[in-house]
Amino acid sequence: MTYVIGAPCIDVTDRACVDECPVDCIYIGERSAYINPDECIDCSACEPVCPAEAIFQADDALEEELAFVEDNARFFTEVLPGRPAPVGNPGGAADVGDIGVDTPLVTGTPAR
């Protein structure tokens, strides 16, 4: 039962959630942030600090949020544009730094 970052984060990326996460599992793309489902400990610390109210539990996703549940996982398992390999499970976002690219779902979302 991992947490997911949905559409309200696109073009916001406030990073309050990154600061609050005790396991450093929130990675930053170009236009959105992503929670690594294998590194998330389901503590919920990120959810209440998100000013965009973009974070939700995957198991509680509404119909319109389901695409983001799958997309969030894809960020870590598929090769993103311009990268030689998937992000994978590096064990912490701070050591990796901003990824700088997004999934096709986020890239294809019109700018706000």
Q: What CATH number corresponds to the domain at position 25? A: 3.30.70.20
**Does residue 51 lie in a domain region?**
yes
Torsion of CA 50, 14, 99, 67, to 10 degrees: 40
Q: What's the token pair of residue 107?
A: 């890239």
**Does residue 104 lie in a domain region?**
no
Number of domains in the chain: 1
Q: What distance in Å separates the CA atoms of residue 7 and residue 109, rounded to the nearest whole number?
A: 9
Weakest-pLDDT range from 13-17, 70-74, 98-102: 13-17
**Does residue 30 lie in a domain region?**
yes
pLDDT digits (tens, 9 = 90+) for 18-56: 999 999 999 999 999 999 999 999 999 999 999 999 999
pLDDT digits (tens, 9 = 90+) for 64-94: 999 999 999 999 999 999 999 999 999 999 9
pTM of the predicted model, to two decimals?
A: 0.94
Mean pLDDT of the 94-107 span: 95
